[in-house]
Each structure stands twice: as structure tokens, then as C-alpha cells.
Amino acid sequence: MKPLSLYIHVPFCRSKCAYCDFASFPGREGEWGRYFEALWGEMEGWRDELSDREVATVFFGGGTPTLVDAGYIEETLARARRIWPFAPDAEITLEGNPGTLTPQKLAVYGRAGVNRLSMGAQSFDDGLLQSLGRIHTAAQIGEAVRMARGAGFSNINLDLMYALPGQTMAQWRDTLEAALGLGVPHISAYSLIVEEGTPMAARVARGEAVVPDDDAVNALQREAVSRLAAAGLARYEISNYARPGFECRHNLVYWNRGDYLGLGCAAHSLVDGTRFSNPATLDGYLSGARRLDQQRLTAADAMEETLMLSTRTTRGLDLAAWSAAFGAPFERGREAALAKLAAGGFIEISDGFLRLTPRGMQVQDAVVLELMEADE
């Protein structure tokens, strides 16, 4: 059977973080039941169309999936298993906030089949957490990891953020050390992106918050790469680090352009070469609208996505696979651009793969743009 990954969006949160522009809605607890009934109905609607699939990975994202009653997560997985067979080693990730986990919830998640937890830690500095609008403290991160281990979870990720307004290198090092001290096998380290329309963007516009310049951001990123590598967490994607065997298989599906079905509000999908999405608002989703903005990808679309996504990974772009998929060597027409980027220390080609160097990963968008334009 063909593999399928499921992304399931849970758009509820206790309060909105200052930097967040995701589809998440605080204060809508009264609609949890109605939302999951709609989500289960959407899932059932795919039964016949995707009857030849086996679920390889599941990812509950949000919002804060660990905020809602754990029974909703359990029931969602039970219903999914009645529609599709699950691979024996299916990776099932639940995203959550350390401040919303309890031993009782963790027991339900384990019983339901969740085998990977991804916690939004962001920082181990209470002042920075407060400025971000996070609902947990640094101490609660450690408590959540210990609780998860006590419930039988070993595959745990911590999300960390750098380039925060006012954040020093010393604070970032302390956060890295605190995360490593918990012994988790996976860490995601993201640079803050100030998105329009967020409270953080308003603070920056008023001069109340100052984000680091590019040189400072790059220095923070280099510190993460170096320190995490020294601790045995290898970088396998621009923002992701793992011990061997603990790479997030669900995210690798995205970067390798595998098929994934997004369920719920604001969820996006790629199935059999067609992209589509659900309404971005809770009310829009509950109205019954589905499969919006359907786009059948052209060869040019697939080429651009393949280059953009594969070069996010340290594995890089498989040149033989490119030739097989698109009927021509990647290098053809790009010789001058490749030579220039290699001479500048941004890329390297070896063992049949084109890879970005650490320097290239700092400017990945620019490298991809230059390579795409070189073939026009």
C-alpha cells in the first residue's frame, strides 16, 4: 500500500503568544466537541478516495493539542485506524505546551498510540518566556519531560527559539545547556520570525522590542549547530537536530515531498501531485468548506519545490533522482551558478548530492533563488 502521512490541526490554545500567526484561537473551549465532530467527518470523507493507503506518520499540531481533553486525541486516532491500516512502526507525534501536560493526559496519549512528544519550550529564561506570552515557566519544561519519561515516552523533542528581542548569547547558551541537560534526543532550534499583525510586530514597530541583526542571528545559529553537535545531536535540517534514529519522520515526508493529508482548520495537503487546503478560520472550517485552492502541480512547480525543500536538509538534493524525475541533469544550464556558489562556500557537490554548507544554510532562500533563475 502507498504510504500516507496525516497532519491533524488542533486550533485551540489557552492564550495567543506574542509572535504567533498560526491558526489558533483562545477562549473557544465550548467548541471543542463540535470541532472534533467536524474533523472526524472530514476524515471519514476520505475513506473511499484513499483506500489504498497505509498511514506511516501522524502529527497533531496547533494551537495546543495537549490543551484539549485527551479523549479527543484518543478518539481521533481510533477513528483513523478504522479508516486506514497503520504501519507497525508508525510515528505518531503530539505537539504540546509543557504547562498543559499531566500524568493523566500522558497515560491516555500512550494508550492511544502516541509515541513521540514535541514540546514548545522556546526558552529556559523566565523573563524571555514572559515576553513571548508563553503560559509555562522554565521549571515546568523539566517537569514535563520527567513526567513524559515516567509515562513511558522516550522520543521527545523540545522546540527552542533564538533571535528573541533582548536575548543575549549567554541566555541562548544557557537555554541550550538546559535543554541538553534533560537528555532529549531531538531539538528544533528556530530563529524568531516577526510576522505582520502579531503583537510582537507591533512592539518592534513602536521600538519597544529590538530584534538582533543578521550577524547576531547567524552567530546564535552557529552556536546551536556547534553545541548540539558536540552533544551528539546532528543537524539533519536547517532547524532540526537529532540523535541517530530520532529524526522526525513526519517532517521528512514534507521535505521529501511525500503525500500528506491535512485534516482540520487551516490544514494543507499534498496528495497525488495536487495541493489544497482547508479554511484558515475556525468558523470557516465549521461551516463545512473543504479542499480550497486546489492546484495541480506542474513540472516547474515540482522542480522548484524539490530544490527548495531538499536543500533544507543536510542530505541535500539527490542529483540522480532529479534526472530521473525531470528528464535532464540538474547541472545543465546551471554550470556558472553552481561554480559561483561553490567558490563562495555556499554549496558542495559530492557522492551524487548537492548540499548547502553551513554558510549556505544561513542564506538558503537566496541560494535556491539563484539556482532556479540560472535555468530560466
Q: What's 14's domain CATH number?
A: 3.20.20.70
In a domain, 271, yes or no: no
0.85 exceeded by the pTM?
yes
- Are 245 and 374 members of one domain? no
Residues of the chain above pLDDT 70, percent: 100
Q: Number of folded domains in the chain?
A: 2
- Are 171 and 306 members of one domain? no
In a domain, 361, yes or no: yes
For residues 212-225, one letter each, b for 16 or more C-beta atoms within 10 angstroms of the residue's C-beta and e for the rest, the string is beeeebbebbebbb
- Are 81 and 181 members of one domain? yes
In a domain, 275, yes or no: no
All three cell numbers of 186, joined, read: 531531538
- Are 311 and 243 members of one domain? no
Q: Give, in degrees to the nearest 5, the angle at Cα 310 between 304 and 314.
A: 150
d(CA 196, CA 203): 11
Q: Per-residue pLDDT for 18 more than 80?
A: no
In a domain, 222, yes or no: yes
Domain boundaries, position 341: 298-376
Give the residue from 230, 254, 278 where a domain finishes: 254
d(CA 376, CA 369): 11
**pLDDT computed for residue 17 by the predictor:** 79
- Are 244 and 371 members of one domain? no
In a domain, 277, yes or no: no
In a domain, 261, yes or no: no
Q: How confident is the model at residue 209 (pLDDT cuts 50, 70, 90)?
A: confident
**pLDDT computed for residue 45 by the predictor:** 97
Q: How confident is the model at residue 376 (pLDDT cuts 50, 70, 90)?
A: low
Q: Per-residue pLDDT for 177 more than 80?
A: yes
- Are 15 and 134 members of one domain? yes
Give the residue from 254, 286, 306 where a domain finishes: 254
Give 207 or 347, the one with higher predicted confidence: 347
Computed over every residue of the chain, the mean pLDDT equals: 95
What DSSP string runs through 237-275?
ETTEEE-TT-S-HHHHHHHTT--EEEESTT-EEEETTEE
- Are 113 and 29 members of one domain? yes
CATH assignment at residue 323: 1.10.10.920
- Are 30 and 172 members of one domain? yes
Give the residue from 254, 280, 315 where a domain finishes: 254
d(CA 344, CA 183): 37
- Are 215 and 331 members of one domain? no
In a domain, 291, yes or no: no
